[in-house]
Amino acid sequence: MAVLRRWLILCLMTIGGCGSLGQPPVESDTQITPSPAFVSDVPSTLVIPSESVAPDVWTVLREGFSLDHAHNEPAVAQAALLLRRVPMMTGIERPARSYLAYIVDEVRQRGLPMELALLPIIESALDPYAYSHSGASGLWQLIPNTAKHYGVTIDWWYDGRRDLVDSTNAALNYLTDLHDEFGDWLLAIAAYNSGEGRVRRAIAAAPGADFFDLKLPRETRQYVPKLLALAHLIAADDGRVLSPIDPTPPFVATTLERQFDLAVLARVGSLSLDEIYRFNPGWNRIVTPPAGPYRMLVPASSRIAFTQAFDQYPTEPIVWTRHRVRDGENLTLIAKRYRTSVASLRSNNQLTSNVIRPNQSLLVSSSVIQSSELPMNPLLHTNRQWRRYKVKAGDSLARIGKRFGTTTTALIQVNALNPNRPLQIGQMLKVPIPPPIRRLTHDDRCSDSTARVVDTSQVSTTHFVG
């Protein structure tokens, strides 16, 4: 199954997506400016989503498909052939059950072609933590400039590109604007992939040509057919491939007015911290932003437990401090000193036992929040790939970044460096690297849109003619 999942993701992302399966670089704890309140048009109390509009998500999609899938076009036919090699939902069924219903409902309510709801499958394999090392992030693989232009907050506490609600709203607004400009959905989708400037120049060079006749980058000539082929296969499915997915989003929304420690909230409500982050992947820290209101998505199956956890949550402020273990101290003594619990200490510090050692540094939740010491969302560390590098004479952050294909900013963030302090010879740095077998390619849109991921091991077997 793992092999099949990897193959499907490579198939989807080789010719279309702009996200990688790598993870965002760790942000520096020196960036502690609180975010503006972020909240969309969500209810202020827990609310059950609207009633289902069809038996399952796939039915809603089929009924809303409105584009010409052009399945006789060579590029579309070959894309469909590639997709048939493995079941379409292998490896992404769980995220599809978490996120796809909401995306489909948003597209339906806007009256847009339902094919657009499939873009996150191609862009990120429905992984909100998918990250391109040139800056694209989230389900829709938005880069910072595009995301901020459409009102998405990105700061020390929160990255709305990973948030299901904020990123979907921004991406659909962007696609709508592209359609308003080009008057054609295939051209709008092409511009989402390669950038408006590239599409404008192609149209100027061939007035009156449709998408398939325009001279566009090879990647874009594959990207649009990939989407059309995926839609065509879904439209033709008779239930033997696609398992039904409830069209009602599996979460409810609440607006929080104050700061919460997610580890405490999970513990009080006997909830899974991973489940909280699965539905709220935009949060960068284990503590929510200090200034509300802000939205929290709660698994519908756990809404009663969450309600009780909110009611039982301690009223005193969350406090984080750093404690260095002294000789003779144990977790019980430290917990008593800070009015916390041994379980909390173990959870905050990912300890597998009660054994600690002198001079060990422990993160303790107590009475004064110290933003610079808040741990990160643990899912941001999943499958992170680094290389270690020892600083040599003559090195600078810019030179190291250029050598390894990263940026000065990323190096500062990953290593929590003071940019005003010079590097020391022999200093060890963590350098983020892209996942193996993938390389980034760039086009005009890289200045204002996403970078692309190409699986170099599959180029020969996934060649498309367009």
- pLDDT, residue 43, reads 38
What b/e sequence results for 106-124 when a residue is b if at least 16 CB atoms lie within 10 Å of its CB, and e otherwise?
bbbeeebbbbbbbbbbbbb
Given this model, what pLDDT does residue 300 score? 92
Residues 356-382 have pLDDT tens digits of: 999 999 988 754 444 445 677 877 765
Q: Which residue has the higher pLDDT, 112 or 442?
A: 112
**According to the model, what pLDDT value does residue 452 have?**
28
Structural contact between residues 252 and 298, judged by C-beta atoms closer than 8 angstroms: yes
Work out the burial of residue 91: count CB atoms within 10 Å of its CB; fewer than 13 is exposed, 13-18 middle, 19 or more buried.
Answer: buried
pLDDT in tens, 286-314: 888 876 788 999 999 888 998 888 888 87
Which has more pLDDT, 168 or 5? 168
The reply to whether 2-246+439-459 and 386-433 are identical in fold is no
Burial class (CB in 10 A: 0-12, 13-18, 19+), 370: middle
pLDDT band (50, 70, 90) for residue 149? very high
Q: Is the confidence at residue 7, as pLDDT, over 80? A: no
Q: Where are the domains of the chain?
A: 2-246+439-459, 319-368, 386-433
CA distance 444 to 448: 8
Give which of 166, 189, 167, 165 is closest to 177, Cα–Cα.
Answer: 189
Could you tell me which residues come within 8 angstroms of residue 313 by beta carbon, excluding any fewer than 6 positions away? 260, 264, 265, 268
CATH 1.10.530.10 fits 2-246+439-459, yes or no: yes
Closest CA to 191 of 210, 166, 216, 173: 216
Per-residue pLDDT, averaged over 410-420, amounts to: 70
The CATH class of 319-368 is: alpha beta
pLDDT of residue 385: 54
* Phi, psi (rounded to 5 degrees) for 21: -90, 5
**Is it the case that residue 45 has pLDDT exceeding 80?**
no
Structure token pair of residue 426: 């022999």
pLDDT mean over 86-92: 65
CA distance 281 to 298: 12
Closest CA to 192 of 148, 136, 151: 136
Question: What is the CATH code for 386-433?
Answer: 3.10.350.10
- For residues 195 and 212, the answer to whether their CB atoms sit within 8 Å is no
- Let me know: does 437 contact 456? Beta carbons within 8 Å: yes
Which residues are known to be catalytic?
Answer: 123
Between residues 251 and 11, the one the model is more confident about: 251
Does this model's pTM top 0.95? My answer is no
- Res 6 pLDDT > 50: no
